[in-house]
Amino acid sequence: MAATSSSLSSCLLSDHGIAAGDPAKCYTAKQAVSAKSLSMSSRLRHSMEASRLSSTTTRGPARCCSAVETKISPLFTLGKKFHLDDVIEAQQFDRDTLNAIFEVAREMEEIEMNPSGSQILKGFIMATLFYEPSTRTRLSFECAMKRLGGEVLTTENAREFSSAAKGETLEDTIRTVEGYSDIIVLRHFESGATRRAAATASIPVINAGDGPGQHPTQALLDIYTIDREIGKLDGIKVALVGDLANGRTVRSLAYLLAKYKDVKIYFVSPEVVKMKDDIKDYLTSEGVEWEESADLIDVASKCDVVYQTRIQKERFGERTDLYEEARGKYIVDSDVLDVMQKHAVVMHPLPRLDEITVDVDLDPRAAYFRQAKNGLYIRMALLKLLLVGW
């Protein structure tokens, strides 16, 4: 099911957005003629009418589609269906798709600042199923839906306060919840859970983090933030620091960074949580230069982005000795800031513990709260695209 995103542009040749002649390279979790696509057709007609009406009162949707049409590609034109049925992994996205999504996100910034808001998703309901704790991801998705006029059904601890506690399977939960909603946002403790959910559902499913697997919407907002903060994505140097073995955010981010030219990635982590070989092998296969280092100060002096992550205690189980061995080894503090370049930024998917000292917050290069806000715009864009189209 996994696809190499470099082939997605060629996959957009048919009206359904998937080229039947090259299934190995196209994302095929759902074919465009599947029950999922058919079930969305009436919703799309409703949504396009809502979009037209909304554009008379808000600047965002109209300018968004115009910008995509003129700046990106005729493939991303007004009224055309988004070529992905679900958002499951970072490999689904190629550069053209990323650029187009970022144009929509910029228009979402305008909508968010417009007091009159938008009704582009009026009549749609989003269900958020979170089997693991979340603050930023869940709230930003729910805020995104409401900013666009939609409604939200939510459970913030589905592992304990849903029928999962009674033994209900994920598939049965998905089949039930899709009867109440138009799109599902799922966070789960098992890697691959979102793929299972998407294979079951006839409505779009978004991966909001699946155990130690991936977190594609976080990676999208991270790339968007880097572009906004640094002003480019080609030719940058990025340090991924902290829990690289269990961190789904850094895995997804590595996949997206591989789409850009002349990128170099530094891996800085304790020995027990080093980046796994599958990511390193993927980067090598894509011609992306990477290097492992134990010297954060040296690496920080070279990089445009220092992307810090927390050591994830919840992934260690009973091996608290390994957690204590890893925790506190690499901390971004004033010493790290002193060697960083003036244009460089510190990022973090949050929440943080003690891996970034609070005095760093006062430095303009601390981008992590701006990064979190960008998550709203990216998720507004994705909801709009999955439910309405371009």
How do residues 188-198 score in pLDDT, each as one tens digit? 988 899 999 99
Q: Taking 90 as the threshold, does the pLDDT of residue 185 lie above it?
A: yes
- 315 flagged as catalytic: no
Percent of the chain with pLDDT over 70: 75
Task: Work out the average pLDDT over 247-268.
Answer: 95
At 29, the pLDDT band (50, 70, 90 cuts) reads: very low
Contact 330, 296 (CB under 8 A): yes
Q: Picking from 40-49, 99-108, 268-277, which range would have the lowest pLDDT averaged per residue? A: 40-49
N residues, the chain: 390
Mutual angle of helices 95-113 and 368-387, in 10-degree steps: 100
Structure tokens at 385: 């695209």
Phi/psi zone of residue 192: left (φ > 0), alpha (ψ -120 to 50 degrees), beta?
A: left
- 136 flagged as catalytic: yes
**Which residue in the list 215, 248, 259, 384 is annotated as catalytic?**
215
Mutual angle of helices 35-54 and 368-387, in 10-degree steps: 110
Structure tokens at 371: 């990064």
Q: Give the whole-angstrom CA distance, residue 168 versus residue 239.
A: 41
Q: Taking 90 as the threshold, does the pLDDT of residue 161 lie above it?
A: no
pLDDT reported for residue 172: 94
Which position has the token pair 């808001």? 117
**Which residue in the list 187, 196, 251, 329 is annotated as catalytic?**
187
pLDDT reported for residue 314: 63
**Which residue in the list 136, 146, 175, 373 is annotated as catalytic?**
136
The C-alpha torsion from 319 through 211 and 209 to 216, rounded to 10°, is 100
Tally Cβ neighbours within 10 Å of residue 205.
29
At 25, the pLDDT band (50, 70, 90 cuts) reads: very low
Q: Which residues pair with 345 in a beta bridge?
A: 305
Task: Work out the average pLDDT over 137-145.
Answer: 94
- 343 flagged as catalytic: no
- 365 flagged as catalytic: no
The residue that leads in pLDDT, 281 or 42, is: 281
Q: Taking 60 as the threshold, does the pLDDT of residue 43 lie above it?
A: no
Q: What ranges make up the beta strands (E) of 259-321?
A: 264-268, 289-293, 305-308
Q: Picking from 107-121, 155-169, 196-210, 327-341, which range would have the lowest pLDDT averaged per residue? A: 155-169
pLDDT reported for residue 298: 97
Q: Is 88 helix (H, G, I), strand (E, B) or coil?
A: coil
**Which residue in the list 28, 58, 128, 137 is annotated as catalytic?**
137
What is the phi/psi pair of residue 256, to 5°? -75, -40
The residue that leads in pLDDT, 86 or 53, is: 86
Contact 350, 373 (CB under 8 A): no
- 137 flagged as catalytic: yes
Closest CA to 127 of 192, 203, 54: 203
At 21, the pLDDT band (50, 70, 90 cuts) reads: very low
pLDDT reported for residue 45: 42
The residue that leads in pLDDT, 11 or 171, is: 171
Q: What is the mean pLDDT of the chain?
A: 81
At 36, the pLDDT band (50, 70, 90 cuts) reads: low
State the number of CA atoms in the 13 A half-sphere of 216 facing the CB. 21
Q: Give the whole-angstrom CA distance, residue 235 versus residue 165.
A: 48
pLDDT reported for residue 55: 40
Q: Do the strands 305-308 and 345-347 form a parallel or antiparallel pair, or are they unpaired?
A: parallel
Residue 119 buriedness (CB in 10 A; 0-12 / 13-18 / 19+) = middle
Q: Is 241 helix (H, G, I), strand (E, B) or coil?
A: strand
Q: Picking from 14-23, 151-160, 335-344, which range would have the lowest pLDDT averaged per residue? A: 14-23
Q: Give the whole-angstrom CA distance, residue 354 versus residue 331.
A: 7
pLDDT reported for residue 59: 33
The residue that leads in pLDDT, 269 or 164, is: 269
* Rg of the chain on CA atoms, in Å: 20
Q: How far is CA 202 from the centre of its chain?
A: 21
The residue that leads in pLDDT, 315 or 187, is: 187
